[in-house]
Amino acid sequence: MKNIYIALLSFFLITACTSDLDQFPTNIASADSLTSYEGVLNAAYFYQHSGVTPMAVMGDFRADNARMEEEPYPSFDRFNGDLVDMEDQFFGPFYTGMYKSILSANNVIENSTNATEVGEAKFLRALAYFKLVRVFGDVPVNLTATPSTSDNSILARQPAASVYNQVISDFNDAAAALSANINNGRASKLAAQGMLGKVYMQLGDYSSAESQLAAVVNGAAGAGISLQENFADIFGVDNDLNAEIIYATQVSSSISDEYGFSEFWSWSAGLDTKSLMPLDPDLVAAFDASPGDLRRDVTINTELMASPKFPQTGGPDHDWIELRLGDAILLYAEALNENGNTSAALAQLNTIRSRAGLEASTASSQGEVRQAIANERRLELAFEGQRWFDLVRTGTVDAEMGQAVNSNYYLFPLPISEVLASAGVITQNAGY
């Protein structure tokens, strides 16, 4: 059992049913009557599970790394309103899990007197809202442990800019409260700074992103974080919480997961009948354009047309990597380049290329380096749920997908069940 769940005492403290922001079970003790909030905090960690596979599928199967085969699942490969049919398996569990995590985090933030617990809770609340806003855009925001059960106005979607402001505030608070040392894979100062860097990159605020990512890259060694010498040693259940991992959602087969469908490692490995050969030929071509790349055999199997990155052995115990040093280095390189420091950006990029067994990049102009970094992120992070969100934030969806994509479909549909349960207070995204 993973360390983070040893004291998981509150599976049923915070539950949700029809509308996930609007529930307070009357048959349990109120949160403010507790004397310890460790169990509630662990519940906030646990509920992040429900977002793992949906984010993995949205990140790679919506993009040009992976594809579906059995209807209606190829709706991920089409840019129209068909994705609403995927609510039960993807968007519903994701939405529910994130708001359960938020509600548990709110309880800790409001009631715990332990500064570290509050810092971790703010990290988890920020992480949940960051995922929600990237997936759905405008979303409801709840910052209380006891939302009103009589006023549906709390369900109204808030502008994405306001959501991002809350995310930034919470990550900043978490960074201030938490230690740089990573303890059993829990949230840390370095994780909060790294996620802040991701948020600022998403917003195109490269100056703010650079300072946060510099702190991560330069502070990694002091926190015991370093690149794995062998790329393959990042992945697989035996390598969970290895030295490259800054933060991961920990997964354990010994604790029942709320997500009741095929997990992320099954999808990428071609073990689900809905996508027996998930590997997109476009990703194969990208590796073909990088001869000698040591990441190729770790990432793709062209005989099976699947990915062995997360091996079948021990699959149910694979942690989901939210942030690792290789990702942070490439984001730092991108921020440096966008801020005009191309030579420093190349130095960071070449650190990643060197581990992959590749020669230093020949890119020189800012535009060439920008493309080189984008190419590297694709090969480095394939099947880690990053690709689609990278394309959207860099404005390269059309160019990389080879078609004109209506920007409505940069976002995903909110669960129809939530729209209906809110009596129309929650509205659906355009195009769905």
Report domain extents, the chain.
Answer: 3-421
| pLDDT given at position 33 | 63
Which segments of the chain have a pLDDT < 50? 1, 4-29
Whole-angstrom distance, CA of residue 97 vs CA of residue 420:
18
Q: Classify domain 3-421 at the CATH class level.
A: mainly alpha
CA distances from 148 to 24, 142, 155, 409, 429 (A): 9, 10, 10, 33, 25
pLDDT at 31: 57
Stated as kind and residue range, the H or E segment containing 248 is strand 245-249
* Coil vs helix vs strand at 236: coil
pLDDT the model gives residue 91? 97
Q: Using the CB atoms, write b or e for 399-418: b if 16+ within 10 Å.
A: ebbeeeeeeebbbbbbbbbb
Answering whether pTM is above 0.75, one says: yes
**Can you tell me whether residue 279 is helix, strand or coil?**
strand
